[in-house]
Structure 1
Amino acid sequence: MTDPQGPLNFVSAVPATVDPAVSPAGTQPATPLPEATRERNARLVETYAERLYDAGAEEILDWAREHVPGPLAVTLSMENTVLAELAARHLPQADFLFLDTGYHFPETLAVADQVEARYRQKLVRAKPLLSVPEQDARYGLNLFATNPTACCRMRKVEPLAAYMGPYDGWITGLRRDDSPLRAHTPALDIDPNGRLKISPIVTWTLEKTNEYIAEHDLIVNPLTTQGYPSIGCAPCTRKVENGADPRSGRWSGFAKTECGLHT
């Protein structure tokens, strides 16, 4: 892996031929849930969100298995494989879903391959509508440098919406200690499309996460041992100083801390 430390040094941007605010033709909006499912999900959140707020991961996932009759997707960033292991034990019928943005570190893609080989669950690889060269040609070279919000929208937010169609909810790896913005993240929530949003490790610290990885001999993304406690796309991820906010290496140099999936 090429260490991308230091100031951002991108190839000079090529002017865009299309406004980045305009998504490519064929972009699919989020598939609406049936009204009865939306109402059921809302009732589940109203009834159980408070009691699950500080619950353990196993309790939350067992609750999901018991109370959510529809299919769930376990979203995996491949930063670590804790959610894959927990879901294999507690939600074996759920699919895994990985946002394959086209910009991942090779190490991250290798973890995805290892997850697919180790676990029995189906791994759905959600890809953007445009390849990286197609995006460069249409929106200008290195959109992640000129308009990272638009790049994240087209390569993460919109693909997730398109691929979430079959599912009544999704399992996330959000943790409250990731950043101040996530300090009050609920364990059970509902997203703007009416789908359940379940975060079983929301109370975990980075130390507890690493202990679970070691205890269960999980697949490890080697970048996490090289100063990258939070791993996103390669061009927009930097090393983090010891003791710093784990997400401070994301979108270095920009006033941006979230990709839009959770905001």
Structure 2
Amino acid sequence: MSAIALYGRKTAGFDERLAATVQILKDAAAAHPGTILQSTSLGAEDMVVTDLIAKLGLPITLATLETGALHPETVALIPRITERYGLAVEVYRPVEESVVQFVRTNGEKAMYESLALRKACCGIRKMEPLGRMLTGRTAWVTGLRRDQSTARGEAQAVESDDAGRAKISPLVDWSWNDVWHYIATNEVPYNPLHDQFMPSIGCAPCTRAIAVGQEFRAGRWWWEDESAKECGLHVKQPAA
């Protein structure tokens, strides 16, 4: 059964949440002319945000991290965005030599060996390219929602990241039903892996389907403790 059929229901307050999201995006674009981008994971939430940016004609650059370990279905969404909306997507990749050296030293399955090695892999494939992506930017837009995980339960629609940039999460109050209702209503392209019980999709070696009743992000780094399940993109460092 498709994710739309499973989850695409309009719930109370959706129109108000959508209106609030539109205003957040408009305000962010106006406050950061020429220096704001959407960092899209190409997941369902981010596809909703991209659709809104396109429909509203907002001057927000689209950018994504192509880690070199994504599912083919995920990568295929990059040209689909351009075809659908006529918008270019900036693609940031890890430094090839860094990846080669890491694999040569630690093996193809290093991420399963220890938390430190998994985070080192995320550092090379995600964090370093993200740093380049955000260079010169004063704001970035994400698809974070509070009910994605306990770790994200305190996320705000507008907050500051560790570098002092504005971090905009316009769907922060949305439910999973809201996301799929919007996708269904607006015929938004989405990753077909969502139809295979993968609500949260990252790199292929670190993502699997979840079972009924499991937490939203249970399929990410499933061999790790729940408290560790972030790659670093959305983790604020504690104050010194």
- Please classify the TM superposition score into its range, dividing by the shorter chain length: 0.7 to 0.9
Runs (4 or more) in structure 1 with deviation over 6 Å come to none
Task: Pick the aligned partner of 1:73 from 23, 37, 40.
Answer: 37
Q: Quick one: percent identity of the two aligned structures? A: 36
Distance in 1, matches of 2:175 and 2:146, equals 8
Q: Does the Cα contact within 8 Å between 2:81 and 2:87 map onto a contact in 1?
A: no
Q: Residue type matched to 1:202 in 2?
A: V
User: Would you say how many aligned residue pairs link Structure 1 and Structure 2?
Assistant: 211
Task: Pick the aligned partner of 1:63 from 18, 21, 27.
Answer: 27
CA RMSD of aligned residues (A): 1.9
TM-score, normalised by the number of residues in structure 1: 0.75
Deviations 1:46-80 (A, max 9, x none): xxxxxxx9982111111112322342110111122
Structure 2 residue aligned with 1:143: 110
Task: Pick the aligned partner of 1:258 from 222, 230, 238.
Answer: 230
Distance in 1, matches of 2:105 and 2:133, equals 23
> What secondary structure sits across from 1:56 in the alignment?
helix
Q: Residue type matched to 2:219 in 1?
A: G
Task: Note the residue ranges of structure 1 that are not aligned, 5 or more in a row.
Answer: 1-52
Structure 1 residue aligned with 2:70: 104
Structure 2 residue aligned with 1:44: none
Distance in 1, matches of 2:156 and 2:57, equals 20
Structure 2 residue aligned with 1:152: 122
Structure 2 residue aligned with 1:90: 56
Distance in 1, matches of 2:57 and 2:168, equals 12
Structure 2 residue aligned with 1:176: 146
In the TM superposition, residue 220 of structure 1 has moved relative to its aligned partner by 1.7
Task: Note the residue ranges of structure 2 that are not aligned, 5 or more in a row.
Answer: 1-16, 236-240
Q: Does the Cα contact within 8 Å between 2:127 and 2:233 map onto a contact in 1?
A: yes
In the TM superposition, residue 166 of structure 1 has moved relative to its aligned partner by 3.1
Structure 2 residue aligned with 1:216: 186
